[in-house]
Structure 1
């Protein structure tokens, strides 16, 4: 199930990049989710200059899992403030994402 979600994210990223590329933009699916999660990250206390990056990682964690999101965080951790890095780190260790539905459903 997890591999399916990761493959779906990759396919959606490619689809969005192709379609938006026709209009001269390069926006991925994760980028759009980052804009959706921007206000949530800002309300959590992330500075507005970093809320888009943090929102994108939050969306990645929700759609796939925390391991994939941690790999994305590793790439940008040096550009984040200690406050934003702490907030997103605490968010990433929770057990709430779509792929965990399969784990919970199978165990009960």
Structure 2
């Protein structure tokens, strides 16, 4: 069974002094200067970066990164059953845009490694 070490904290500072991670998840704060670059740079070759965004500004940043580095963009929508008068109806939650990308395995290449996500742009 593979070992899993979860490190929580503000990125990219939480990564300082650690071995290069296999994966980094960013759940918010995408527009903070240096956040995505710091997380990307910290990953080992073939490491995976997954980022969530819910604002237009954050989504724009993910769209620009996707255009430059590839990977996959996915919009996730969830609805919950809630009272609607005397009946029950679906109430939508805020949609989440997810960008997932893998760092190239070969040093010196700018091309990301396909991550195997269905529908992902394999570059």
Provide the TM-score with structure 2 as the length reference: 0.29
Could you say which structure has the higher strand fraction?
Answer: 2
Provide the TM-score with structure 1 as the length reference: 0.32
Could you say which structure has the higher helix fraction?
Answer: 1
